[in-house]
Structure 1
Amino acid sequence: MSHGHHHGHHHHHHHGDEDLSSLPPALDTSIPDEELTPGQHSRRSMLRRAGLLGAGLAAGGVLGGAGEAAASTAAMPTTHTSRSGRYLWLAGDHHIHTQHSSDGKYRVIDHVRQANAHGLDWMVITDHGSVTHAKIGVEKVNPDIVAARDQIEDTLVFQGLEWNIPAAEHGTVFVHPGKNEVAVLREFENSFDGSVKGATAGTATNEALAIAGIDFLAEQVQRRKVKDALLLANHPARKGIDSPHEIRGWRDAQPSIAVGMEGAPGHQAAGIAAPDGPGSGRGYYDNSPSADSFAAYPLESYRTWGGFDWMTATVGGLWDSLLAEGKPWWITANSDSHSVYADTSVRGPNSDFAGNGRYNDPVHGGGLNLGDGDYWPGQYSRTHVGAASFSYQAVMDGIRAGRVWVDHGGLISGLNAQLRSAGRAVTLGGMLQVRRGSEVELVVEISLANGPNWAQFVPTLARVDVIQGDVTGPVSDKDTFTTPNTRVVKSFEVNKATGAVRLTYSLGPVDKPVYVRLRGTDGNRTAVGLGGSSVDPAGPAMDVLGDADPWKDLWFYSNPMWVLPA
């Protein structure tokens, strides 16, 4: 039965000077339930159950002013101020494959509907760069993306590309929608993709081509060809070929374009023991070193730890070594969705990918695909971005600013973290400037899970860890991947299952630059962390190949905040 009229139009509201216009109807609580379409109503119900409706706006922003940093702190992240200090926390996924990828299957609209149903607000379609893909071109998928944007108004759908980074792993490259989005992505793929250019080997020439590609993206933004562009490195430790100096090189070349990496890879169902034989590693992290691998990486770097990449999961490891330099480098989590676990669809019959650049539409109704290693966008992994409004630009700005936290399996439904001192505060990604010796407090508010996840249970947060490190400045060796003074400084046991918890931790009088970041777990699987018991007494455990049920080992991670005493 239809309502005869469709409330798909956007309602505009002005809360002070903050632009929260164009809220999707499901999120706009000024629209009564009975005015929503059935789809919008089910989305609102889902958000309510997850404790996400209205909660996003309560999250704090920056109280202090921007631009007070001395010139010597140019490497430190800048403070971003939202006038009313409130953000919409928008969940998303920047790594999704369709029938336009050689190993993909689903239509764009299939992914967008699923993402929407699983509570995502934004997503990036990232079909693989390749010789075949470049021949047919990124324009082939664009009409499907444009149609999905029109059809599902309350999900922001970016067009991107999974870049074969020359001399390295893959990365998500995406641009702000606009008249040149296809042209810029096409030129980028044809000029800088490692597969297209035959530039995959780990040579200095190929590393330079990767930097040239990042510079190209920055130039497109400067020339106003596209409004914005971002690069995030995907599954960075999977094959050991993203050396520390390459990661630093990308970031340092264009810190506003190359902003981070997947803290947790997609393919999280791959660790489930498959009925027709042994499962793989979570994230398909089941590799060994090759000729192109960075020789100093230890063998354990080729595995996931509680579903997270070794670079992120190691306290005092590669991620921390960048943060200890004072370099913004953010983490995300996503699905890398190609073929979904327990789905029943098969690739469209009689497909000619080489000729058409896409597979025919999938056909549903086969058996359960229990050998497939992926989840739908939002079904398991979520990247939450603090955005000043519901818009493409606000999501990109939030990612660039590091206002990002990630979770698996719906472990928590909201996170608001602030560093506070003398009436000033910053949130995730921010830098708090204080007088030397000032008292600084970390205040964390967590909305616990209050509804079942896809696996039909309500996860319980057992513990939250505060990880703190000294900012020791630039490293002389760009291949450094450890930092000595980072450790778990406080663990909070969480003794409740529903509602919210408020945790406070005093950093004491701060007389040198430091950063803090957060991590939480359901407590099901922990081990003495990679840095040893004095550094990480109960960190994630290495995932067992072929026997790593992702639902039984849930974590969340936040991006860092810095304190800079002057």
Structure 2
Amino acid sequence: MLCNLLFGSLLLAGCGGSNDPIVVSDAKPVTPVVPVVVPPTVVPPVVVSNERWTVGDLHVHTFQSDDTQQTTTLDQVLAKAFTTYGLDWAAISDHLRVSNYDNNGNRLPAAIPFSKGMADYQVPRIKALQAAGTYADKTIFAAFEWDMPTHDHANIGILTDTPMSAAALKAANQFEYLFTNRAASDFLPADVAAWNAADTKAFSTHADAMAAIAWLKKNYPETSYMQINHPSRNLGSYTIAQLREMNDLAPRIMFSIEGMVGNQMEPDRGGYTQASATTPNPVALTYGGVDYLVATLGGTWDALLSEGRHIWNVADSDYHFKTNGANSSGYSPGEYAKNHLWGEIKDPKSLLAAMRGGKVYGTYGDLISALDFRVTSSAGTGEMGSDMTAKLNETLTVTVRFKSPDRNNYEFQVGSGVPANLKPQVDHIDIIAGNITGLEVAGTAGYSRATNPSTRVVKRLTASDWKLDADGYYAASYTMPATTSTYFRLRGTNQGVNVAGETSNGEPLADVSIKASVVTDAATRFNAINARNYSDLWFYSNPVFVKVGGA
């Protein structure tokens, strides 16, 4: 018999030779010791977040929009956006009108609906470039700018489950048939028959505009969006009741307004030509390059935010061309206006999800290149686009951290490509707050309320308030009691608080027009427009909503 017999983990004593019996002292029974099995420690997998700040533009035109004055091919605009100015993502959004040109400016034998031009020229070229490795790490997709019946322009993106697929292109084609005045003869007869059986063409009234939004909601509720472009450029384009109506109908589709408008190289900033009128209407002007709707403290945007609506402000180039002969229009994508968006942006659908989340801020002239804006209560921390809670009368802490680059894209002379090495400098940042009073109801007087009287600057941060931290951010904070449900947003500028012709008590003044009748030499005028824009820089954050319990 084996000596040193192992029973479980117990070594039995008293083993003799191979024939000796096993002797147990005192003849007491031996209770075997059962080992304790300790399960291995389960280490949870490390979750690596690929979320980061990205920069992009949702409003870019090419040759296929006739008003580009045939100056910008698709390849040229993509090179400007991604190679020259380093964007991470862009939506090409040519006009949903008839198109007379292909991507390269070759005139077509006959005009075609833009949705067909998108399918025949634009999308195949984008796909070919990315398949060959050019811009393979960028998010690019084709959208379109729609002439909304009785209103102004709106960017429409229909992504479907596979953006820029045959299904997505057919959806754009169907939208153009239903919601523009294109003739049935411009479309395939079988498609027209099927579309007529399901829907009615609608392209003339406000009700038709609402029908188009309802169509998007019915067919592409999670994979489409509609952005209101340059909302006040033409007087009477929208009432706030109409904006509420659109958002009420489809809050996951109509959730963004281009308040930081493009076309900044125009003599009338943003193309807001009311600036040239003898008695200009203040509603149809820009203020620091920003639409009246967003720029006005306590105005239309604040009225919408006072209801807790998730309607975000964005900044786009609306690029058509920069200069052409004696004419000027706008900066290239990424040159002057930028959206800084937080998220894991890997394709158009993740881009749309991040935009809906609202953690986005807009800048002009790279006034800031990074922003950390948050509100903290005992319940946690909220960032841009979020809803958070707080207890009545507890202390809220608003934290602002930002960076500015060593230089922006200001050049002199215009078109020379020679940087002026201008370093943007933030003069002050306003922490703006407004009370949240709840949704207005259609059919009541409040549905037409276009102001929020509670909106105020609760703190104006200056260089005396912020300090450079270990991460290279300028950081400051502000505390206030949580007395009522409140949203917070930021507005910053390189301008002083009272600068003749620019600001009054910190509020931006209407922008000055630099007309050809005043500055007749084109090159001199372009430089004056450029200097006007780069001397007047702003950024706007989106809001954090704080719901106060018991308020």
- 3-state SS in 1 of match to 2:329: coil
Matches within 5 A, 1:206-225: 206-222=205-221
Matches within 5 A, 1:27-46: none
* Aligned equivalent of 2:157: 174
Q: Is the 8 A contact 2:496 2:506 kept in 1?
A: no
Q: CA 1:514–1:528 in 2, change beyond 3 Å: closer, same or farther? A: farther
Letter of the aligned partner of 2:211 in structure 1? A
* Aligned equivalent of 2:74: 108
Equivalent pairs counted in the alignment come to 432
Higher mean C-alpha displacement, 375-384 vs 128-137? 128-137
Q: CA 1:16–1:220 in 2, change beyond 3 Å: closer, same or farther? A: farther
**CA-CA distance at 1:194 after TM superposition:** 6.8
Q: Is the 8 A contact 1:158 1:175 kept in 2?
A: no
* Aligned equivalent of 1:323: 305
**CA-CA distance at 1:423 after TM superposition:** 5.7
* Aligned equivalent of 2:113: 134
- State yes or no: 1:96 paired with 2:79: no
- 3-state SS in 1 of match to 2:169: helix
- State yes or no: 1:164 paired with 2:133: no
Q: Deviations over 1:174-224 (max 9, x none)?
A: 133142221111111221237889xxxxx99711111111122222325xx
**CA-CA distance at 1:149 after TM superposition:** 3.3
* Aligned equivalent of 2:461: 492
Matches within 5 A, 1:128-277: 128-132=95-99, 133-134=112-113, 136-140=116-120, 141-150=122-131, 151-176=134-159, 177-179=163-165, 180-193=167-180, 206-222=205-221, 228-240=223-235, 241-270=237-266
Contiguous gaps of at least 5 residues in structure 1: 1-13, 21-86, 198-202, 271-279, 291-297, 347-368
Q: Is the 8 A contact 1:125 1:157 kept in 2?
A: yes
Counterpart CA distance in 2 for 1:378 and 1:386 is: 17
Letter of the aligned partner of 2:90 in structure 1? M
Could you say which structure has the larger radius of gyration? 2
- State yes or no: 1:519 paired with 2:491: yes
Q: Is the 8 A contact 2:92 2:144 kept in 1?
A: yes
Q: Deviations over 1:140-163 (max 9, x none)?
A: 322122224332112211110001
Contiguous gaps of at least 5 residues in structure 2: 1-43, 100-111, 185-201, 412-420, 515-527
Higher mean C-alpha displacement, 140-149 vs 477-486? 140-149
**CA-CA distance at 1:131 after TM superposition:** 4.4
TM-score (norm 1): 0.71
Q: Deviations over 1:505-547 (max 9, x none)?
A: 1132x132110100100015856999x98xxx31112101116
Q: 1:372 aligns with which of 328, 340, 347?
A: 328
Q: Is the 8 A contact 1:239 1:288 kept in 2?
A: no
- 3-state SS in 2 of match to 1:127: strand
Counterpart CA distance in 1 for 2:489 and 2:304 is: 13
* Aligned equivalent of 2:9: none
Q: Is the 8 A contact 2:240 2:450 kept in 1?
A: yes
Letter of the aligned partner of 1:96 in structure 2? V
Letter of the aligned partner of 1:312 in structure 2? V
- 3-state SS in 2 of match to 1:113: helix
Counterpart CA distance in 2 for 1:186 and 1:560 is: 36
**CA-CA distance at 1:90 after TM superposition:** 1.0
* Aligned equivalent of 1:17: 47
Q: Is the 8 A contact 2:57 2:316 kept in 1?
A: yes
Superposition CA RMSD, Å: 3.0
Counterpart CA distance in 2 for 1:404 and 1:389 is: 13
Counterpart CA distance in 1 for 2:404 and 2:137 is: 25
**CA-CA distance at 1:328 after TM superposition:** 1.1
Q: CA 1:153–1:147 in 2, change beyond 3 Å: closer, same or farther? A: same
- State yes or no: 1:388 paired with 2:387: no
* Aligned equivalent of 1:70: none
Counterpart CA distance in 1 for 2:182 and 2:432 is: 39
Letter of the aligned partner of 2:238 in structure 1? D
Counterpart CA distance in 2 for 1:215 and 1:17 is: 39
Q: Deviations over 1:349-401 (max 9, x none)?
A: xxxxxxxxxxxxxxxxxxxx563121110000001111134332222111111
- State yes or no: 1:544 paired with 2:512: yes
- 3-state SS in 2 of match to 1:242: coil
Letter of the aligned partner of 1:169 in structure 2? D
Q: 2:269 aligns with which of 278, 282, 295?
A: 282
Counterpart CA distance in 1 for 2:405 and 2:56 is: 18
Counterpart CA distance in 1 for 2:135 and 2:410 is: 22
Letter of the aligned partner of 1:245 in structure 2? A
**CA-CA distance at 1:489 after TM superposition:** 1.2
* Aligned equivalent of 2:525: none
Q: Deviations over 1:471-502 (max 9, x none)?
A: 12233333321111001111011268984211
Q: Is the 8 A contact 2:379 2:390 kept in 1?
A: no
Q: CA 1:284–1:565 in 2, change beyond 3 Å: closer, same or farther? A: same
Q: Is the 8 A contact 2:179 2:203 kept in 1?
A: no
- 3-state SS in 2 of match to 1:400: helix
Greater RCO, CA 8 A, separation 6+: 1
- State yes or no: 1:438 paired with 2:394: yes
Counterpart CA distance in 1 for 2:220 and 2:276 is: 37
Q: CA 1:101–1:434 in 2, change beyond 3 Å: closer, same or farther? A: same
Q: CA 1:250–1:423 in 2, change beyond 3 Å: closer, same or farther? A: closer
Q: CA 1:500–1:170 in 2, change beyond 3 Å: closer, same or farther? A: same
Q: Is the 8 A contact 1:221 1:229 kept in 2?
A: yes
Q: Is the 8 A contact 2:91 2:140 kept in 1?
A: yes
TM-score (norm 2): 0.73
Q: Is the 8 A contact 2:317 2:337 kept in 1?
A: yes
Q: CA 1:137–1:526 in 2, change beyond 3 Å: closer, same or farther? A: farther
**CA-CA distance at 1:454 after TM superposition:** 3.7
Counterpart CA distance in 2 for 1:194 and 1:285 is: 26
* Aligned equivalent of 2:319: 337
Q: Is the 8 A contact 2:492 2:540 kept in 1?
A: yes
* Aligned equivalent of 2:437: 472
- 3-state SS in 2 of match to 1:258: coil
Counterpart CA distance in 2 for 1:243 and 1:192 is: 21
**CA-CA distance at 1:339 after TM superposition:** 1.1
Q: Name the % identity.
A: 29
Q: Deviations over 1:42-93 (max 9, x none)?
A: xxxxxxxxxxxxxxxxxxxxxxxxxxxxxxxxxxxxxxxxxxxxx3111110
- 3-state SS in 2 of match to 1:183: helix
- 3-state SS in 1 of match to 2:207: helix
Counterpart CA distance in 2 for 1:331 and 1:492 is: 22
Q: Is the 8 A contact 2:203 2:209 kept in 1?
A: no
Counterpart CA distance in 2 for 1:333 and 1:256 is: 19
- State yes or no: 1:303 paired with 2:298: no
Letter of the aligned partner of 2:125 in structure 1? D
* Aligned equivalent of 2:86: 119
Q: Is the 8 A contact 1:527 1:539 kept in 2?
A: no
- State yes or no: 1:463 paired with 2:428: yes
Counterpart CA distance in 2 for 1:264 and 1:194 is: 30
Q: Is the 8 A contact 1:464 1:493 kept in 2?
A: yes
- 3-state SS in 2 of match to 1:386: strand
Q: CA 1:120–1:377 in 2, change beyond 3 Å: closer, same or farther? A: same
- State yes or no: 1:504 paired with 2:504: no
Counterpart CA distance in 2 for 1:17 and 1:473 is: 38
- 3-state SS in 1 of match to 2:212: helix
Letter of the aligned partner of 2:271 in structure 1? Y
